[in-house]
Structure formats: structure tokens, C-alpha cells
Amino acid sequence: MPRFSITTPIYYVNDRPHIGHAYTTFVADALARWHRMQGDATFFVTGTDENSQKNSEAAARKLGKPHDQITHEEIQAYVDGMSATWRQAFDTLGITYDRFIRTTESDHLAGVNQLINAVRDAGDIYLGTYAGWYCVECEAFLPEKELSGGMCPYHTRAVEKLEEQNYFFKLSAYRDKLLAYYDAHPDFVQPVSRRNEIIAYVRDCLEDVSISRPKKIWGIPFPGDREHVVYVWFDALANYMTAMGYGTDDVRYRTWWPANVQLVGKDILKFHCALWPAMLMSAGLPLPERVFAHGFFTIGGEKMSKSRGNVVNPVHMAERYGVDVLRYFLMREIPFGSDGDFSEERLKERYASDLQKGIGNLAARTLTMMRKYNDAIIPPPHLGGGRGGVGCEAAVATTWRSYAIAMDALLPHEALDAIGSLVRTADQYIESEKPWVLAKDASQRAHLLATLGTCCELLRHVALLLAPIMPDTAHAILTALGQPDWRSHALTDLQQWGSGAIGATVGDLPHLFPAME
């Protein structure tokens, strides 16, 4: 059986999820659903990153304490509560993860220790002194040339000048190996713009990196030296493997690693496409197949930030418009890999044009015609799409091919374009065949029935195609078309023209996309 494993970044618990976090996780969920639908054994990992200074600072702020006075137990209680908040949010948003990893778990601790020991055994860790600038928000040391007016360019936050003894990883020793790997595996970093960016960084800027901090309160003790804690990125990156059993369950690890796809934001590209593969090379472990970095989010044209008051809570947005609507809008509006803008006005426009007038209208008129002209019984469709030259059967086959190519290329917006084209084909077919005219001529009864069957078949394929992206909507349509058990059938069978529930009675379908108040 083919297998597919996919990961999202793990998310800091210093605050609640925002719409950008939901975007990444929705795409991962859609890809996981698509592979499950194809019958692939699938493992989907997401979770929370808890061993960071920003999390301990957030705990101190919540308790109203100076950071140096907060206890380990108080920080643990804080991250426990916040991780539960993230998990509940993802459950509310319908995220079908197979593993929700927390970096304070014992399984993760065991895997981090094993990874660091493997890198040390390779001779790639040494003790040294770091002096430079540190951004708490990035949890990263930044070269002075990357600063903007003494501020972190990503977070517009003042950086700290640090000088401390750290353990270092010999990242610079992997420059040539990384460049050779990128050359031999052109799909490893995607999209192409990010690949070009990481090649330039590794070629021109790669330096050894600190992988520990002096022990203060919070973090995983550094193996062999308890006066240090593991630097959060060296710890966090390991989650992708520890979630799959590295260090604790070798059978599970070998089943699911390496990941087929790792989704990240472009701001953490260097960690995932330079540091992470070098760590794996050092430890003698396989690299993930693809790392795909999507762009940044703006809200109504402005950068999202608390100070602007424009941080969008995805749970609140889903309560207002529905989870499926939010999933559709984010994956349709923003080409994955590019920067994008979230706007409620644009969401409302998409809702009206694509969902109300498109998918919703097609479903409503198809089921209405079934009840009006054939007592709600689904007849067989035309083979070849019937007269009228629309070629519905061929259009469905073409749509499935385009859809599969888009999903496998991690381009859900193109997959939704293909669905939109099929919806338009179905509308054109109805207008061409005019069932309301055929129903008035008894001699056209056979053609009317085949036309109605074709309308149901087109709608059925639209619903199947929607299933990974709008799962609740898809299931509601397929249930109304007599296939509530569609998940128990092989996709190759479902994709066949005419494999709907012939002879079934169409059921009730709630108004999918009612008018907004």
C-alpha cells in the first residue's frame, strides 16, 4: 500500500492560533484527506513548540511576574493549558491529524537526546563562544547585516546583544553537501523562488550555528552537560521524527519517516532547508522528500499584528461563516507558495459567486429537478454526456486529471479552479438540455431521464472533488445523492462515470450556503 506522511510547523504556544496558522494546517489537512481518499496509508503531524524563551516570557506576563522569578512548574502549567487550547482549536476546525506532538513530551525528549548524540558522534558539535544579536520572537541569532535599524526585520522588535558560551553545530561543513543535494533533488525545496533563495544563502552565508543556551529555567537539558539547554530550533526540528517514533518506536519511525511533505512559512525557510537537512546528514538519517514554504499573510493589505488589532481568530471566523467556507476561501483565494491577503469582503464575494451561485445553486437546482420530474429517483446518466456537445463524461475525466496534478503539486487553488470549471460545465449542460422543456414532451421522456441522471452524476463528481477541501459540504451532497457510505468505496470506483446510486431516492439537502445577514 502506498504511504504518505505530511507535517506542519509546530506552533509556539505564547498566543492563540491566528488565521495564518489555520491556513498552513488546512492545506496539510486537505492533502492528508486527498491521500486517504486514494487509499494511501497516511500520517499527518502537527503540534505545539513549547521549549522556547518566548513561551516562558508569555507565562511570566500572564502571572504578572518578572521572567527570572517564574518557576519551571508555572511554565509547564502555562504550556499545558495553551497546548490544549491549540488542540481544541484544531479539533473545532476539523483538522484530521494523526499525531499532535508536544515538545515537552517524554517521547520527544528521548528523540532529541538520540539525535544530538548521533550528531556528536559524527564529530559535528563543539563548545565555543557566541557574541551577537538575538531575536526572542524568531528564537534565532541574527547577523548584524540582516537587522533593520537595530530591529528584527520580521518582527520589528529590538534584538538583544548576547555573549555566551554555547555548543555549536558545524553547519558550515555541510555547505558543499547541501548544494550537491539541492542539485540532485530539484524538488526538495519548493516553490522555485524559495529554492533559489536557499541556494544563495547556503552558498554565500552559511555559518556554524549555536545549538545550546546557558541553563536558566526552561528547555531540554543538553545531553552530557546539564549547565546548558538545547537551543529551541535544534530541539523543535526533531519533532517531525519524534512524532513518528524516532528514539522510542523504531517500527513506527521506519514506517513513516522520511516525510513526503513538510509545510513551512517562508520566514523559517533557512531552518528547514539548511539547518534541518544538515542535522539529518550529520546523524546519517534520510531527508524529507519535499519542503514547501508558503508566503506571508496580510489582513486587508496590512501586516497582521496585535498592535494594529487586526489578528484574525480562525475559530471565530469559522463560527461566523462555517469551517468549510473558511477552508475554501483560504485555499482558493491565495495561491499556495505566494504571499496573500485575507479580507472579509473578499470572503463574502467568493461566498456569493463561487459557493452560493456556483456549487450551492448547482446542487439545489439538480435535486429540485429530480423531485419535480422523476419523483426524486436517480436514473442512469447519458454515456458520453448526451447530445448537446458538452461532453460531460470527458469533462469529468479531464477534471480528475487536472485536480490530481494540482493536489500532488501542492497547489490546492488550482485544484479548486478545476472544480469551478466542472461546475460551469454542469450549468452549461443544464442550460443546453433544458430539462424543463423536455418534461413537457412525452416523446422526450427517455432523454429527460438520462439528462437528469447526467446532472446528478456531474454533481456527484463535484462533491467527490470537494471532499478533501470542503469535507462536510461534500458529505452532505453525496448523502443526498444516495451515497452516504462513499468513504468505504475505492476512489477508482467512485471516479467511474455512472457509478452513482442509480435508483436511489435523493434525500434532503440543507441549504448549503444561505444568504448572509
DSSP bridge partners of 100: 46
Return the H-helix or E-strand segment holding 91.
helix 72-92
Task: Give catalytic status of residue 152 as yes or no.
Answer: yes
Task: Give catalytic status of residue 382 as yes or no.
Answer: no
**Inter-axis angle of helices 314-321 and 323-333, nearest 10:** 110
Instruction: Show the cell assigned to 435.
Output: 430539462
Q: Are 136 and 151 in contact (CB under 8 A)?
A: no
Q: Are 3 and 40 in contact (CB under 8 A)?
A: yes
Handedness of CA 66, 69, 72, 76 (dihedral sign): negative
Instruction: Show the cell assigned to 316.
Output: 471565530
Q: Are 43 and 5 in contact (CB under 8 A)?
A: yes
Omega within 30 of 0 (cis) for the link into 471: no
Q: What whole-number distance in Å separates Cα of residue 440 and Cα of residue 369?
A: 13
- Catalytic: which of 145, 161, 306, 440? 306
Task: Give catalytic status of residue 273 as yes or no.
Answer: no
- Catalytic: which of 35, 108, 152, 272? 152
Task: Give catalytic status of residue 266 as yes or no.
Answer: no
3-state secondary structure of 222: strand
Q: What whole-number distance in Å separates Cα of residue 21 and Cα of residue 24?
A: 6
- Catalytic: which of 62, 67, 155, 475? 155
Contacts of 49 (CB under 8 A, 6+ apart): 9, 10, 11, 12, 13, 55, 103, 232, 236, 239
- Catalytic: which of 65, 72, 185, 303? 303
Quickly count: other Cβ atoms within 10 Å of residue 504's Cβ.
15
DSSP of 6-70, one letter per residue?
A: EEPPPEESSS---HHHHHHHHHHHHHHHHHHHTT-EEEEEEEEE-SSHHHHHHHHHHHT--GGG-
DSSP bridge partners of 223: none
- Catalytic: which of 35, 54, 108, 135? 135
Task: Give catalytic status of residue 456 as yes or no.
Answer: no
Task: Give catalytic status of residue 455 as yes or no.
Answer: no
- Catalytic: which of 54, 108, 138, 392? 138
Task: Give catalytic status of residue 138 as yes or no.
Answer: yes
Q: Are 399 and 421 in contact (CB under 8 A)?
A: yes
Contacts of 418 (CB under 8 A, 6+ apart): 399, 402, 403, 406, 465
* Nearest Cα residue to 194 out of 405, 406, 338, 7: 338
Contacts of 318 (CB under 8 A, 6+ apart): 92, 93, 326
Task: Give catalytic status of residue 54 as yes or no.
Answer: no
DSSP of 96-117, one letter per residue?
A: --SEEEETTSHHHHHHHHHHHH
Residues noted as catalytic = 18, 21, 135, 138, 152, 155, 303, 306
